[in-house]
Homo-oligomer: A and B are copies of this chain.
Amino acid sequence: MQSRSPASRTGRPRSPAADAAILAATREALVDLGWSKLTLGDVATRAGVAKTTLYRRWAGKNELVVDAVAELFDELELPDRGSLAADIEGVVLQFASILALPEARSGLMAVVAEATRDEALRERIRASVVDRQKRLVLEGRSRAQARGELPPEPDPASSARTVDLIFDMVAGAVVHRTLVSAEPADEEWVHRFTGVLLRGLAGEAAHPADG
């Protein structure tokens, strides 16, 4: 989340506890206040830390919230439920349950909005949140290939494009359902969505770029 030159060996070392306290306080403040009313002074107070300590480690509200929210996604993992469809449903449900948390709802869309005008922030989100979860798609696919549910990938470039498409469709649909439509992404919805997605992708393998 931040790094100093490894050469700096001198001086008082940064308190490692402060990082964790600040990120936890940030999530707590997101729940209580939401993004727009969250102030760094308040986060510092909640964390029992001076404002300067916070600014020494994060450049601003955006970066702080990205890191605080990103930690929520680290617990995602691909369950082994025996079939591709069931595996995917499981991970989509996990994703939906994270997006149901108020600390994620409030913060995530806001930093995405900020990222539309801030390339570095966009990169940080991609690195901390998005790319970190792409492993799930890859893992799910290779597991399905091992089961014989999917054929091996022929072309790496087209494979990457497919992963990206899947990710945009899954993440986009769940986010839109949860935040814009404000309806729960519950088991029934996830089941329907996964069905449409997998059937569509199955066809995609047959008609990779036709009309």
Interface residues of A (CB under 8 A from B): 34-36, 85, 102, 105-106, 108-110, 112-117, 122, 125-126, 130, 161, 164-165, 167-169, 171-177, 179-183, 188-189, 191-193, 195-204, 207, 209-211
Q: Can you list 19 A-B pairs with a CB-CB distance of less than 8 A? A: A34-B114, A35-B113, A109-B109, A110-B114, A112-B180, A113-B179, A115-B179, A165-B189, A165-B192, A168-B177, A169-B173, A169-B196, A188-B209, A195-B203, A195-B204, A195-B210, A196-B197, A199-B200, A200-B201
Q: Which residues of B contact A202 (CB under 8 A)?
A: 199
Q: B172 and A176: CB pair below 8 A?
A: yes
Q: A164 and B191: CB pair below 8 A?
A: no
Q: A117 and B189: CB pair below 8 A?
A: no
Q: A36 and B200: CB pair below 8 A?
A: no
Q: A113 and B116: CB pair below 8 A?
A: no
User: For residue A207, which residue of chain B has the nearest CB?
Assistant: B195
Q: A117 and B34: CB pair below 8 A?
A: yes
A89 to chain B, nearest CB (A): 9
Tell me the bound Cα distance from A210 to B195 in angstroms.
8
Task: Please provide the 10 A-B residue pairs with the shortest distance between their CB atoms, ordered closest to farther.
Answer: A200-B200, A172-B172, A172-B176, A196-B200, A109-B113, A199-B203, A110-B113, A34-B117, A172-B173, A105-B116
Tell me the bound Cα distance from A113 to B202 in angstroms.
34
Q: Which residues of B contact A126 (CB under 8 A)?
A: 180-182
Q: Which residues of B contact A167 (CB under 8 A)?
A: 176, 181
Tell me the bound Cα distance from A114 to B175 in angstroms.
14
A112 in complex: contacting residue of B109, B174, B183, B195, CB < 8 Å: B109
